[in-house]
Amino acid sequence: MVDDTLLETRHLTKEFAGFVAVNDVSLRVRRGTIHALIGPNGAGKTTVFNLLTRFLPATHGQILYRGEDITHARPAEVARRGLVRSFQISAVFPNLTVLENVRVALQRKLGTSFHFWQSERSLDALDERATELLAQVDLASHRELLAVELPYGRKRALELATTLALEPELLLLDEPTQGMGHEDVGRVTALIQRVARDRTVLMVEHNLSVVADLSHVITVLARGSVLAEGPYADISRDRQVLEAYIGSAEPEAAV
């Protein structure tokens, strides 16, 4: 049987001075899926992301990416292997244009040792790829605007384009619709669906209707531990999940 697990954690645990923020979390993210990590405030979602990107060292447990142990890898090494968190490396420069921002991200991916952009032809290739990426996130018509001039939702789309420039195989999205109005939420949801066609996505998201629309699998964390896992239809009826969210079992009110 083909093993389609792209990312796996085994008994992943993180303690902060004796406080267990992530407790024995074993996850499997399958290739080609959109996998959501949800849970009430303080459940440990951000800490799990920080462990996966190696921003924080794990106290116990293991992280395997494509079957290889990355528990002790450096953050840059993890990103280089294709596990990239949006907004991690990809800062948006406010006074560069939209196009320039994507070009900078592409140049960074190529590295400074490789004198790629010194030739005209290479620069053209870079522009071509930047144009493709902008089209993917619906920013083609905004390419000459300064990043600072973009409305909030569009700025997040630009951040996504600069992340895609790094060619992630597994894209970690940290609350992609946070702080957005209804219209932007719809646009970003569609965008995630599009970029996930040829990638795997693991996302932390508070907006449960976005989670319902996008996710193949949902893992619910509560107080650092996995409480439930499955498709939305199952999760939204799970009594323990409902209780963790609102302390009662009223499905409509919670999920």
- Residues of this chain that interact with ligand ATP (CB under 6 A) are 16, 19, 21, 39, 41-47
Burial string for 142-168 (b: 16+ CB within 10 Å, else e) reads bbeeebeebeebbbbbbbbbbbbbbeb
Q: What is the distance between the alpha carbons of residues 141 and 134, in angstroms, rounded to a whole number?
A: 9
Whichever of 52 and 195 has its CB closer to ligand ATP, that residue is 52
Whichever of 13 and 162 has its CB closer to ligand ATP, that residue is 13
Radius of gyration of the chain (CA): 19
Secondary structure letter of residue 104 according to DSSP: H
- Report the nearest approach of ligand ATP to the CB of residue 46 (Å): 3
Asked if 238 contacts 43 with a C-beta cutoff of 8 angstroms, the reply is no
- Report the nearest approach of ligand ATP to the CB of residue 4 (Å): 27
One-letter amino acid at 118 equals: Q
- Report the nearest approach of ligand ATP to the CB of residue 37 (Å): 8
Q: What is the distance between the alpha carbons of residues 165 and 172, in angstroms, rounded to a whole number?
A: 14
Whichever of 47 and 88 has its CB closer to ligand ATP, that residue is 47
- Report the nearest approach of ligand ATP to the CB of residue 168 (Å): 21
Whichever of 21 and 147 has its CB closer to ligand ATP, that residue is 21
